[in-house]
Amino acid sequence: MARRGASSAGAGARKRSDRKADGRTGRGTGRRTEPLAEPVDGGLAELVPDRERPHAWTLTLDGAPQSHVDLDDPTYLSFEYQRRIGHIADLVAPPGQPLHVVHLGGGAFTLARYIAATRPRSTQQIVEVDAALVQLVRRELPLDPQARIRVRAIDARAGLGKIQDGWADLVIADVFSGARTPAHLTSTEFLAEVRRVLKPGGSYVANLADGPPLTHLRGQIATAATVFPELALAADPTVWRGRRFGNAVLLASDLPLKVAELSRRVATDPHPGRVEHGRALADFTGGAAAVSDADARPSPAPPPSAFG
């Protein structure tokens, strides 16, 4: 679930197999000019063509934006929160070094495509519960067949449980049922499973969504603090001040984070954000309690104006 930004997080494009110019999505000598709507397990999915980029698409689910993909240039990240996760993916290891990455929530596979383009030979696992959505994306927005990306149509927490201890350099959680994160993906027990899957020094990134009074966001920071010693949060200043509903990107690890460089990149984005960590982030949390499975709740529903 996202609010759309505007610009590229990288340069260059990867070659992708052309598809017939028959009005379908994908790359070819022609392009679809009308949205494609199709029912999936989670509601009505719609692929909306980008009028400014010939082979780019926005995926929505029941009207809520989920992903934006440019098949000609998978390094192009349009949504604010995806750009911020892209910055983190760029900073967790030296440039070009392959990673083992787990994506909880697939959408249109935007971030997996980005990592495959910027870190060739990376091995990635996407866990997406909506099997019909997976089929739609695979058919209409095909992955590079050379990319080492495996997609599992299974619940995010169940899929996480199938991954071996210490496999991942990076776990990215971007899971929404409609426009809300399911309750069982907000708890200390869930984050303990994330940490089990991470290598020592690995990083966890979560796309969180909340609005005034930011109760859910503060609780998620407090929850992560019980599992990871190092935290940082990136968000739009208006979200920080509780003026609107929006996305915030949480970064967690057991090693010190590259906060200065992440802050610089987030601050110079087309839609600048702010990164907090350490005492300032603890103060923002304001004594919120960690969330357990027993008292977990889904993230709040966005207001009708959130996607206007």
96-126: pLDDT as tens digits = 999 999 999 999 999 999 999 999 999 999 9
Q: What is the dihedral of CA 164, 165, 169, 170, to 10 degrees?
A: 80
Q: Which region among 16-30, 225-239, 243-257 has the lowest average model confidence (pLDDT)?
A: 16-30
Q: What is the pLDDT of residue 31?
A: 58
Kindly state the percentage of the chain with pLDDT values over 70: 89
C-alpha dist (Å) from residue 66 to 63, 73, 107, 185, 196: 9, 18, 6, 18, 28
Please give the mean pLDDT across all residues of the chain.
91
Please classify residue 173 by burial: count the beta carbons closer than 10 Å to its beta carbon, then call 0-12 exposed, 13-18 middle and 19+ buried: buried
Query: The tokens of 298 are what?
Result: 């889904």
Percent of the chain with pLDDT over 90: 86
In the chain, the amino acid numbered 258 is K
Confirm if 207 and 83 have CB atoms less than 8 A apart.
no
pLDDT band at residue 307, thresholds of 50, 70 and 90? low
Read off the pLDDT band of 305 (50, 70, 90): confident
Listing DSSP states for 41-101 in one string gives TTEEEEEEE-TTSTTEEEEEETTEEEEEEESS-TT---BHHHHHHHHHHHHSSSTT---EE
Q: In this model, does residue 71 exceed pLDDT 50?
A: yes
Arithmetic mean of pLDDT, 168-174: 98
pLDDT-derived band at 33, boundaries 50, 70, 90: confident
CA angle 10, 114, 281 (to 5 degrees): 80
CA dist., res. 232 & res. 269, Å (int): 17
pLDDT of residue 11: 32
Mean pLDDT of 183-205: 98
Contact call for residues 26 and 71 (beta carbons, < 8 A): yes
Assign a CATH topology to domain 77-300.
Rossmann fold (3.40.50)
Does pLDDT of 9 surpass 90? Answer: no
Q: What distance in Å separates the CA atoms of residue 155 and residue 41, rounded to the nearest whole number?
A: 12
pLDDT in the model for residue 32: 64
Tell me, what's the pLDDT at 26?
58
Cβ(122)–Cβ(34) below 8 Å = no
For 130-143, the pLDDT digits (tens) are 999 999 999 999 99
Distance CA 1, CA 28 (A): 29
pLDDT mean over 14-38: 55
- For residue 257, pLDDT over 80 is answered with yes
Which residues are CB-contacts of 134 (< 8 A; sequence separation ≥ 6)?
106, 128, 151, 153
pTM: 0.91
State the DSSP code for 185.
G
How high is the pLDDT of residue 189? 98
Cα first-last separation, the chain: 13
- What's the CA gap between 73 and 51, in Å, rounded? 15
CB 73 within 8 A of CB 8: yes
Q: Tell me the two tokens of residue 91.
A: 């900073």
What integer pLDDT is reported at residue 178 of this predicted model? 76
pLDDT of 175 above 70: yes
